[in-house]
Amino acid sequence: SISGDTGVIHVVEKEEDLRWVLVDGPTPPYMILLDGSLFSRKVLLQLKGTSRVSGLAVAIAKPSPPQGFSPGLKCPNDGFGVYSKDYGPEFAHCNTTLWNPLGSGISYEDFDFPIFLLEDANETQVIKQCYLDHNVPGDGSAPEYPLCAMQLFSHMHAVTSTVTCMRRSSLQSTFSINPEIVCDPLLDYNVWSTLQPINASGKVHPEKEVVMVATRIDSHSFFWNIAPGAESAVSSFVTHLAVAQALHKVPDVHLLPRNVMFTFFQGETFDYIGSSRMVYDMEQDKFPLGLGNIHSFVELNQVALRNGSILWMHTDPVSRMNESVNAQVQILLDTLKRSSAGSGLTLQEAGFSQPLPPSSFQRFLRARHIPGVVLTDHRTAFHNRYYQSLYDTPENIGMEYPEGLSPEEALEYVTDTAKALAQVATVVARALYNLAGGNSSTSAIQADPTTVTRMLYGFLIKMNNSWFQSIIKPDLKGILGDVPQHYVAVSSPVNTTYMVQYVLTNLTGTVVNLTKEECLNPEKNPHTEKELYEYFWTQGPLGANSSSRVPTCVRSGARLSKALSPAFELRRWDSTEYSTWTESRWKDIRARIFLVASRDMEVLTLVLGIAILLLSLLTTYFINAKADVLFSLPQDPGAVAY
């Protein structure tokens, strides 16, 4: 509702409490304070479609629900991957493997009442106390007035669908001087760089081969801007960053016959926004590389919840029916297996008849048969019980810190999770070196667990830490919030995108001796290589025994490319080929609690108010009618003659 949704508060801590809301309660509509452990599809569907519920406030469950909780689909990104009625129909719609069996799909349901999340336990307690003081039924009878009520404000301007809201926004933009846009496409930027520098404004020679490494950097949950994504996103892109650092340290990488491209896709949760846009740009010659340049493809998916030492290698059984592709895939698999020797990690094939899990690689396969592999910690269904949920937190991937550590000590503390991910990064880096044509021993290629633990801390626990502060531009320090979230959003780039770019710059770039003016305007210096590199003026670390920083200029190949679905470029808002997700605009999201009187008292107050108004009007009328009598001035006495 544009004026907010209001209802009498009722606390639901067990399913039996719902009966009062749905059947017995005499004072509907109700605003439910729901225990987080009950937030499920079964409960929500009971509340959906009844006029007795005006809103829902969900108290976050602590600890996380042991049975798992995933509001996503059982078959994530269904219909936008490679499998369809025309390509591997037996694998389409997860017919062979149900990847997310715990998925309830509630993120994709339409609810006609607002649903808020209460993360602060103190706020939850205040609402509960108000309920206990005023709303608790006594022996089955209705509580007496006044009752504690809640009002939730979350009016959304967009309606119906992307097609409708984009059409309305387009009409407003065309014919109105001050257009009122009602929704925006999900938009951000992919982050990419290459092992050997390339001219970002030109085109790579068609004969130059590139090994592409990819991962996603976004996550999602039922609630807006709450997306910790520890297993679904962070574990993989942190491992990917560690791979990039390990490879850049190898002395002979500039001599490798093949280049390596490190790619971090945004918006993948919403039907592969980032990867579909990069494929589109490659097809339209709007990207330095073309699809023909890709020699092979390695994707890091969910990798933090391994069973023992096993990491699974998934390939596409349909493209492998081609003998040439199958031979190249087999070389890829053998290289990965050899690279794991002595690492404490075992790489196993998921099976020739097993389809690819939801992955960015699928969007590239839609355009071209590319040899590729997707690395995961699961052979079939996800090990992640909290996929696309607010409970996919550091605890979900086993990050534990000793009690009493200061923030600085926690930043440097190497967790077991960091060690395990560094193992994965080491194996992948060694494999990539060989795939790129390297012939030297790979035993010296090692990912750094300390760097991995810093990244995990920064991207999952506290973004505003001393390391992140030292590697960003001075004018971007405001993006370092306390609790990181990895939602793609519509205002871009989001802080995750910025930080992935700056961490990649820090791990793979080179400090150069340039002044601030030269660093910010490299085109003015004839000795810079603006076509091959980006130049970043960073805050730098704190000086020794000083509170001031020592800024530095870092040269790096880390760049951004747009992650906006091609559907919006093509104005095909009903596309089934490309993602069409939009986000509604709104003006205010807030809540308040207050006491509400009985209906009889409200009617009595209204009647008395009307009576007083009428009496006031009548009094004003009579005073105005008799004003000449009531407010007449005394007559001046005439002149007196003597």
Tens digit of pLDDT for each residue in 43-78? 999 999 899 999 999 999 999 999 999 999 999 999
Contact 228, 463 (CB under 8 A): no
> Is the pLDDT reported for residue 248 higher than 90?
yes
The average pLDDT across 613-621 equals: 93
The average pLDDT across 92-117 equals: 95
> Parallel, antiparallel, or unpaired: how do β-strands 310-314 and 346-349 relate?
parallel
Long-range contacts, 445-448 (Cβ 8 Å, 24+): 445/246, 445/247, 445/249, 445/250, 446/246, 447/239, 447/242, 447/243, 447/245, 447/246, 447/422, 447/423, 448/242, 448/245, 448/246, 448/422
> Is the pLDDT reported for residue 638 higher than 60?
no
**Would you list the domain boundaries of the chain?**
5-98+107-155+589-600, 187-509+557-564, 510-549
Terminal Cα distance for the chain, rounded = 83
- What HEC string does 409-471 produce? HHHHCCCHHHHHHHHHHHHHHHHHHHHCCCCCCCCCCCCCHHHHHHHHHHHHCCCCCHHHHHH
Which of 320-324, 489-493, 513-517, 548-552 has the lowest average pLDDT?
A: 489-493
Q: Determine the pLDDT at residue 351.
A: 87
Query: Binning pLDDT at 50, 70 and 90, where does residue 84 land?
Result: very high
Q: Determine the pLDDT at residue 437.
A: 95
> Is the pLDDT reported for residue 138 higher than 80?
no
Read off the pLDDT of residues 208-233 as tens digits, 9 standing for 90 and up.
Answer: 999 999 999 999 999 988 899 999 99
The average pLDDT across 302-306 equals: 94
The average pLDDT across 3-32 equals: 93
> Is the pLDDT reported for residue 637 higher than 70?
no
Q: Determine the pLDDT at residue 541.
A: 87
Query: Binning pLDDT at 50, 70 and 90, where does residue 634 land?
Result: low
Q: Determine the pLDDT at residue 3.
A: 83
Query: Binning pLDDT at 50, 70 and 90, where does residue 633 land?
Result: low
> Is the pLDDT reported for residue 408 higher than 60?
yes
* pLDDT over 70 percentage in the chain: 98
> Is the pLDDT reported for residue 642 higher than 50?
no
Burial class (CB in 10 A: 0-12, 13-18, 19+), 23: exposed
Contact 210, 294 (CB under 8 A): yes
Domain 187-509+557-564 class in CATH: alpha beta
Read off the pLDDT of residues 523-577 as tens digits, 9 standing for 90 and up.
Answer: 888 888 888 999 999 999 887 777 788 899 999 999 999 999 999 999 999 999 9
Helix residue ranges per DSSP H, 481-557: 495-508, 516-520
The average pLDDT across 132-159 equals: 88
Mean pLDDT of all residues belonging to the chain:
93
Query: Binning pLDDT at 50, 70 and 90, where does residue 635 land?
Result: low
Read off the pLDDT of residues 423-476 as tens digits, 9 standing for 90 and up.
Answer: 999 999 999 999 999 998 999 999 999 999 999 999 999 999 999 999 999 988
